[in-house]
Amino acid sequence: MKDIVKKRKDIVFYIKLFPLAIHPGSKEKAQEIQCTHSLKLLEDSLEGKPIPKPGCKAPEIDRNIALGKSLNITGTPTLILPDGEVVVGALPEQTLISRIEQAVKQLKK
């Protein structure tokens, strides 16, 4: 996603932290990332680096979990495209760009 954002200023990703119960400590990591609003901590977490204990409660994480469950999201990454299509799993960069462009075209019809 970072490469896409660098190349395409017309594409934006909104990240909702959605810790999975199968990953021990993931909720606490998500809470600290949310508390600090730190992209660096998010990147560190994705690289398996240690994350400090949460400095706040971050109720947004519980709301994200509830939202994900209500949408039947069970894994990450899960993308919701502009037209509402749900894409589960990572996609190659150009494939993702094409899917986003197709979704935007559908919205303009």
Residues contacting residue 58 through CB under 8 Å, at least 6 positions apart: 30, 31, 32, 34, 35
Give how many domains the chain has, as a whole number. Answer: 1
Residue among 34, 15, 26, 27 at smallest CA distance from 80: 15
The reported pLDDT for the residue numbered 89 is: 93
Q: How many other C-beta atoms are found inside a 10 Å radius of the C-beta of residue 12?
A: 9
Residue among 82, 86, 85 at smallest CA distance from 108: 82
Q: Which domain holds residue 26?
A: 15-74
pLDDT, tens only, 66-89:
999 999 999 999 999 999 999 999
**What type of residue is 69?**
K
DSSP state of 75: S
Domain membership of residue 68 (yes or no) is yes
User: Which tokens in the block code for residue 9?
Assistant: 């200023």
pLDDT, tens only, 46-64:
999 999 999 999 999 999 9
The reported pLDDT for the residue numbered 1 is: 87
pLDDT, tens only, 85-102:
999 999 999 999 999 999
Domain membership of residue 35 (yes or no) is yes
Domain membership of residue 23 (yes or no) is yes
Asked if 29 contacts 52 with a C-beta cutoff of 8 angstroms, the reply is: no
Residue 80, H or E segment: strand 78-80
Domain membership of residue 86 (yes or no) is no
